[in-house]
Structure 1
C-alpha cells in the first residue's frame, strides 16, 4: 500500500471515529453553568397554597385560625405551620373532636403549649401574634388550677373563647381569605420568576449545544473534504503513487481538461453544507413525512432512497423499522453514508431501479433529484418506481417550488446542476399517468417574513402571495391505493389532495 493510500485510510478512520463520537453523545453535552434543575425542583417543594401565609415567620391570628377553610384543613395547616410536619390520623381525629366541641381558638391556644410546637416555633424563628401568646398563657394558667376551681376556670375560659369566636368569626374568615389571596399572588409571582430564570438558562445551554453541534458537523465536513482532496491527489499523480509536494492550487482535470469527478464531488459536498443546511435541520424537515412512512410501512419493509446524500433520510427510515438502502453518484457522500453503517452504493437512480424486482419495495424516495433529470429520465424513473413498488407502496419526490417567485427566478439556479424547475401540476400529472393513486402535493418551507411586502393594494397582495409561497414541495403517490372520494373537498383539485406545511 502506498503512502498516499495509507494517508487516506488513516484519515477515513479519523472521520469514522469522529462520526461515531458525535452519534454517541447524549444531550446535554455537559451540566448547565447555573443549576436550573435546582430552581425547578424548588417548585415541587413549594408548600400547598391552602396553607399559604403572607409572611411565614410572622403569621397573623386570622391566617392561623383559617376560617376561610374547613376544620380538616385548619388542623392540617396548624400541624404544618406550628409542628412542622404532616398530621397523623389519630391526632387529626382528636383535634377534630376538640374543634367541634370548643372551637378553633381553644384548640390553637391548647396546641401552642405543647413542647414540640414550642421547639418548632423557636427553631424556625416564628413570631406569633401578641393576642395569641396572651391566650396561650391564660389557657396555661387555667390548666394549672386544681379541683373545682380548675373546672370553673376552664369553663370560664371556654365561654370567653366561644363568645369571642362567635363575634369575630365572619370578619376573621374574610381577612384570612384576603391574606391567603395576597400570599398566593406573591407565590405565583415568585414561581413565574423561577420558571423564567430556569428557561433562560436552558435556552442559553441549548444555544451553546447548537454551536457545539455545528462545530462538530463542520469538523466532519472538513475531514471529508480532506479525504476527497487526498483521493484527488492520488488520481492526479501518475500511477497513483506517493506525492512528495503539496498539491498545486488548480483543480485536477481529466484528459479533456474538464474537472475530475472527484473534484466535483468535493465541490458538491461543500455546496450542500453551505446551501442545504446542517444534517440536523434536514432531519427535522424530513420528520414531516412521518405519516407517509408509517403508511408505507404497511406495504412492507424495504425502502430505496435515490440520491441519498448525507444519509439523513436513511437514518429516519432505519429507526422506523425499514430495511433502507440508498444510491448516490457522489463518491464522497457514498463513503460518508457507508461510514455510518448504511447500505449505500455508487449508482445511477434509473439503473438502480431497473435492477429491483417487481413489487419489492414499500417506499421509494428522491429528495431534490427530479430537477436534475432530463424529462425522458424522469419519465422512466416514475414508471420504474411504479413497477418496483408493492401494492400500497409510496413514492416521494421533493423538489424546489417554482410557485415561489424568488425560487423560480433566482435561488433555483444556485445549483449549477439543476436543469429546470418542475411545477406541481406537471409532476403530479406524471404520477397519475403512470398509475399512481391518491396523488398528494405537500408544500414546505415558507420564506422568511422579511420577504413579505407591507402593502394593502390588490397588486401588492398578489405579488406577496408569489413571494411568500413555500419554497419546496413534494408529490406523494401510492400504488394501487383504495379509491378516495374527493367530492366536496375544497382542498382537492384534479391532481389530488394538496396541503401546505
Structure 2
C-alpha cells in the first residue's frame, strides 16, 4: 500500500495514456516559466513541461515515484507538498496538482489551495485536476479502486475554495480525453430463420402512406422516448475528470 509505483504497475496504469490526458494542461504554461507539480507520480506531467521548455519541479511523498522521476532525468523531491510550498513562497509561475485533492479531507484541500496561492508569483496559475463525481462509473467503481481516496469533490466546491483563497479568473472544465463508460449489453434476440428474401428499402413517407395515423403517432412517441432515454444515459457518463484553474 505504501509503494505507489508498485500499485501503478500492478493496476496496469499506462504512462502513455496518462501523458496524453495531461497534454492539454501542460499547454496552459508558457516556455520559460517555472511550474511546481504536487503529487508528481512517475513524472508524466514533468516530462510534458520539459518538452515545452518549462522548468518543472516535482514533489511526491512516495520515494519510489521520486526515484522513477530521477531515472528519467526529472527534477523531483520527496516531500510533503504543503511543507514544500511553505518553504518556496512566491517562487513559481504555476502550480499543478492532478488527482491529489481526492486524497485529502476538506480542511487539507483548503490548506493546499492557500499554500499554492502563497507559492505562486503574481499572475501565476493554479490548476487542480480531480475525478468527476458526475460520472456514474467513477461514483460507483473507479473511485474506490484506490485505498488512499478520501472523498469526491464537486467543481463548484473547488472553485469556491480558489475564490476564497484570493484567486481570480476562476474557471472550470472537463477533460474529454478521460472517458469512463458503463457497458450496455445488446438484447439477446432469437436468430432470424433463413433463408429470407432480401429486404426492400421503405422510406418514411411511403410507410406513413400505408400505416394508420394512430400507429404512426405511437411510433413517433416511441422514437422520442428512446431518444430521451439515450440522452439521459449519456448524461450519466460525462468525462471522468474535471479541472479548476485560477490566477494569483
TM class, shorter-length: 0.7 to 0.9
Change in CA separation of 1:471 and 1:387 when aligned onto 2, cut-off 3 Å: same
Q: CA deviation at 1:316?
A: 1.2
Change in CA separation of 1:432 and 1:452 when aligned onto 2, cut-off 3 Å: farther
Taking the TM superposition and a 5 Å limit, the aligned residue runs for 1:124-273 are 264-266=1-3, 268-273=4-9
Q: CA deviation at 1:393?
A: 1.0
Q: In the alignment, what sits opposite 1:352? A: 84
Q: Deviations over 1:245-264 (max 9, x none)?
A: xxxxxxxxxxxxxxxxxxx3
Q: CA deviation at 1:471?
A: 0.6
Q: CA deviation at 1:369?
A: 0.6
Q: In the alignment, what sits opposite 1:223? A: none
Native 8 Å contact 1:452 1:464 kept in 2: no
Q: Find the aligned partners of 2:28 and 2:185 in 1 and give their Cα distance.
A: 31
Residue 170 of structure 2 corresponds to residue 400 of structure 1: no
Q: Deviations over 1:157-200 (max 9, x none)?
A: xxxxxxxxxxxxxxxxxxxxxxxxxxxxxxxxxxxxxxxxxxxx
Q: Find the aligned partners of 2:96 and 2:58 in 1 and give their Cα distance.
A: 9
Q: Secondary structure at the match of 1:475?
A: strand
Unaligned runs of at least 5 residues, structure 1 = 1-263, 480-501
Residue 36 of structure 2 corresponds to residue 310 of structure 1: no
Q: Deviations over 1:129-180 (max 9, x none)?
A: xxxxxxxxxxxxxxxxxxxxxxxxxxxxxxxxxxxxxxxxxxxxxxxxxxxx
Q: Find the aligned partners of 2:228 and 2:147 in 1 and give their Cα distance.
A: 36
Native 8 Å contact 1:453 1:464 kept in 2: no
Native 8 Å contact 1:436 1:477 kept in 2: yes
Greater helix content:
1
Unaligned runs of at least 5 residues, structure 2 = 188-224
Q: In the alignment, what sits opposite 1:413? A: 144
Q: Secondary structure at the match of 1:293?
A: coil
Native 8 Å contact 1:265 1:332 kept in 2: no
Q: Deviations over 1:48-67 (max 9, x none)?
A: xxxxxxxxxxxxxxxxxxxx
Residue 245 of structure 2 corresponds to residue 473 of structure 1: no
Q: Deviations over 1:219-246 (max 9, x none)?
A: xxxxxxxxxxxxxxxxxxxxxxxxxxxx
Residue 180 of structure 2 corresponds to residue 447 of structure 1: yes
Q: Find the aligned partners of 1:276 and 1:399 in 2 and give their Cα distance.
A: 20
**Larger displacement relative to structure 2 (373-382 or 315-324):** 315-324
Native 8 Å contact 1:337 1:344 kept in 2: yes
Q: Find the aligned partners of 1:286 and 1:276 in 2 and give their Cα distance.
A: 18
Higher-Rg structure is 1
Change in CA separation of 1:411 and 1:390 when aligned onto 2, cut-off 3 Å: same
Q: Find the aligned partners of 2:27 and 2:81 in 1 and give their Cα distance.
A: 25
Larger relative contact order, structure 1 or 2 (CA cutoff 8 Å, min sep 6): 2
Greater strand content:
2
Q: CA deviation at 1:449?
A: 8.0
Change in CA separation of 1:453 and 1:362 when aligned onto 2, cut-off 3 Å: farther
Native 8 Å contact 1:371 1:418 kept in 2: yes
Residue 166 of structure 2 corresponds to residue 430 of structure 1: no
Change in CA separation of 1:353 and 1:372 when aligned onto 2, cut-off 3 Å: same
Taking the TM superposition and a 5 Å limit, the aligned residue runs for 1:380-399 are 380-399=111-130
**Runs of at least 4 residues off by over 6 Å:** 452-455
Native 8 Å contact 2:26 2:45 kept in 1: no
Q: CA deviation at 1:314?
A: 0.8
Q: Find the aligned partners of 2:231 and 2:185 in 1 and give their Cα distance.
A: 9
TM-score by length of 1: 0.39
Native 8 Å contact 1:265 1:331 kept in 2: no
> How many residue pairs are counted as aligned between the two chains?
209
Q: Deviations over 1:247-299 (max 9, x none)?
A: xxxxxxxxxxxxxxxxx333x323323547321111111112243113xx5xx
Change in CA separation of 1:473 and 1:307 when aligned onto 2, cut-off 3 Å: same
Q: Secondary structure at the match of 1:421?
A: coil
Native 8 Å contact 1:453 1:460 kept in 2: no
Q: Find the aligned partners of 2:180 and 2:94 in 1 and give their Cα distance.
A: 29
